[in-house]
Structure 1
Amino acid sequence: MANVNYYIKKNKGISSIYARLTHGYNIDVSSRTNLSVPAEFWDTKNKKVRKVLKIDYDFINKKLEEIKYSVLDTFNKDFTQGRKIDKNWLSDTILFFYGHEPKSRTAHTLFFTDFCKWWMKEKAPTHKSSRYKLLSEVNKKYYKKIYPNIRGI
């Protein structure tokens, strides 16, 4: 069963409130809620803002409840469809709750052949094949010879 809890990281001053989503032993992710509270007004046991007159505790506690139900609802939909649930998912879900566009993330892809080309140019000349010996010219020729075969795979 999925669960959402809240916590803060600081013990003094203004602290951001973080949401933590857990589901069994497989999923345990945290993200900022973009809400802040003075640390002395945070109730660690009940995981919400204490009832004090200095801040609008009722507004923050209601927002935390709304975020919780929004995250759980979205989790149920996405988890059953097989989507990846991670820190980025939680962060995007919280941003979507506030009506903001999720951050666009582009994955950097590094192909093995690109790495081989870079390694032969940058690292092979100074690579030690044993404690005192640099990579021999025979080995360098061999690697240069098999590189075109790797590209064809």
Structure 2
Amino acid sequence: MTQHYGATYRGKHISVNCTQQRDGDVICTVSIDGDDYPSLRGNPFGSLASAQVAGAGFARAMIDTQLDNDLTEHRGYFIRVTSSEQRDGSWMGHYQLHRNDNPVAFRRVTCDDFRGNSQVEAEAYAIAMACQAVDADIAAGKL
């Protein structure tokens, strides 16, 4: 049995399709304006309601990422980067990791092993470090 949920958010069409498996689990797929986003975390879900809420939340976070350009998505996790200028004029990057649309970060890291010459350089390094950390944690089975 497949349930479809559709909505419009910030001018983009969200489509959440949930299929209930024979064992009771619910598999959720998300598309935004016809483009599929397979990296939703939490599949399979225990109920239809939780799958739809997670799928719609993930889609809203993806749209915010695309339009606001303040987050980066990597393998289903969202990375928010910032930087701060140091006393010597260099820049240090920081990142936060978020699941789906959860505004509370589950990890906050300061990349103090690298000092960039600009804000952009420090934030690019922070994104690269966050992607490596997510990849390593997924490979180790921690995420």
**Superposed pair shares fold, TM > 0.5:** no
Q: TM-score range by the shorter chain?
A: 0.3 to 0.5
More helix by share: 1
